[in-house]
Structure 1
Amino acid sequence: MKFLKLLLFLVLIVLIAGTLYFATQDGSYQIESTREINAPKEVVYDIVNEYKTWEEWGPWKKEDPTMVFNYAEKTSGEGASYTWQGEMDGGMNTTQAIPHSHIEQRMTLDTPGGERNPEVYWDFKSTENPVTKVTWGITGDHTLMDKVYYAFSGMDFNGDMKKMFEKGLDGLEEAARKEINKYSINIDGITQYSGGFYLSRTTSAKAQAVAQIMSQNYGGIKEFMKENNIVASGMPFTIYNETFENGDVIMTNAVPVREKIVVAGANNVLSGYTPTVTAVKATMKGNYTNLGEAWTKVMQQIKDKGYTLADEKPFEVYVTDPQNNPNPADWITEIYVPIKDLE
């Protein structure tokens, strides 16, 4: 009997000592991962901010295929939320959303040891355009039971969370890539395009330098217009005076104006006029890198229909300004190929 009492006393001492030991261990944690994603921060932020995208890019369903997601009426911005059921039920609520910069979320996890409520945060910073530096982190405090469990189970909580974040950022990077690469091409048919006056620069350009030279030309035109208080009356456009099989071009980059402008001085900016034309029109929504395919389709349409090209040169109008629309998938370009009036 004395032996049992002594044994129980020793066990009690060990339990008390163990409890005191684990109770005095720091249970707070902060874990984060950072990734540079080749997409504008507005695109990456919008994906993370919308909970309905998480099922696609998040790593959780791969780890637990039984997961079922349930979405609230509001799924983006402050106050948005969603829940899930699976091997471990839980939910997420957005507590702060600073557009294209920072997001804070409160997570609820129904663990075997009770409910846990870690805080999740996201930071989005632009580096070299259009690269975004994304930081995904989590902070919280382990309970006494958590600390005992991790100590005796050998579970590496920090390491496992880090791996999960890395897998999630892999998925987020792929989701951003898919988003910015979306595009569509539509042949709109025959239309009348009203001409007008414009200011322009005409240059030749190698295929690989077209975008760079185009940017320089528009920069020079806009600077000239600013210096002379001239207001644009429409969106910029490019007239393709001549195109070569190797992709080289002779092009006129132009900005519409309301009236004829008398240009003087060595500014390399000229005044021009486009007449009203009958044209086959196509609309492309997406990155300018897809314009080659769009032009091929519209020219094939003209060939299939047996239309005859007019003397006026084909041109493309940049309906959206990339400065105001960071996502290339939102850029709209209209293509016009003048044809002779149909009999």
Structure 2
Amino acid sequence: MKTFFKIIGGLILLLVVYSVIAMLAFGDNYHYEKSVVINAPKEKVWQHISSMKSFNEWNPWMDLDKNMTVTYTGTSGEVGDKYCWDSKNDDAGAGCQEIRENIANERQRTEMIFKRPFEGQALSDLVLAAEGNTTKVTWSMDTKQETWMKIMRPMMDYQMGKSYDEGFKKLKALAEK
């Protein structure tokens, strides 16, 4: 029984030490970025990125709740094009994403406002670069993290990578048709 408590005590100590180190070592700014090469010209890839409706055709987070309520406002494909989602599912939560900058066939910047399950704000960029007959798409997200969220950064990196991979897989399938 003493061995069991020593193991549990050691695990708790490791968790506390990791938490303190993570809160001190990780900065307040969180950046995640991933790229993929798509076998299609920039103009064709842009068709699937240029508006919030086209983005949501491959947005991996739309799969979290098939019953979520989505509303669109603004002019499609222009600055101010916006969608808001509301889900009873905490994995999807609630919030809005709005185009803040749109440079045709080059780059789109959006702002996300998260309402649930946690309040927050983030900027996301989709950048297209021609590579011969293919297009390199770089997708990034930047946000500020509260101190306690820094503990979850490795798990957040894992989840972001998984979600970006799912989204890129769908985007490739659409753009390479």
Quickly name the TM-score band, shorter chain normalised: 0.7 to 0.9
Unmatched tracts of structure 2, length 5 or more? 1-18
Unmatched tracts of structure 1, length 5 or more? 1-17, 179-343
Structure 2 partner of 1:102: 107
Structure 2 partner of 1:85: 86
Check 1:21–1:40 CA distance in 2 against 1; reply closer, same or farther (3 A cut).
closer
Check 1:21–1:173 CA distance in 2 against 1; reply closer, same or farther (3 A cut).
closer
Residues 80 and 99 of structure 2 are in contact (CA less than 8 Å); yes or no, is this contact kept in structure 1? yes
Check 1:56–1:25 CA distance in 2 against 1; reply closer, same or farther (3 A cut).
closer
Q: Is structure 2 residue 67 aligned with structure 1 residue 66?
A: yes
Structure 2 partner of 1:157: 156
Equivalent position amino acid for 2:56 in 1:
E
Counterpart secondary structure, 1:156: helix
> Number of residues paired by the alignment?
155
Separation of aligned partners in 1, 2:63 and 2:44: 24
Separation of aligned partners in 2, 1:21 and 1:39: 41
Equivalent position amino acid for 1:133 in 2:
K
Counterpart secondary structure, 1:52: helix
Measured after TM superposition, the shift of residue 63 of structure 1 is 2.7
Separation of aligned partners in 2, 1:92 and 1:61: 12
Measured after TM superposition, the shift of residue 85 of structure 1 is 1.0
Structure 2 partner of 1:143: 146
Measured after TM superposition, the shift of residue 23 of structure 1 is 6.0
TM-score scaled by length of structure 1: 0.42
Separation of aligned partners in 1, 2:141 and 2:33: 6
Check 1:112–1:68 CA distance in 2 against 1; reply closer, same or farther (3 A cut).
closer
Check 1:101–1:66 CA distance in 2 against 1; reply closer, same or farther (3 A cut).
same
Check 1:59–1:23 CA distance in 2 against 1; reply closer, same or farther (3 A cut).
same
Percentage identity across aligned positions? 25
Counterpart secondary structure, 2:136: strand
Counterpart secondary structure, 2:80: coil
- The structure having more radius of gyration, on CA atoms, is 1
Measured after TM superposition, the shift of residue 53 of structure 1 is 1.9
Check 1:66–1:40 CA distance in 2 against 1; reply closer, same or farther (3 A cut).
same
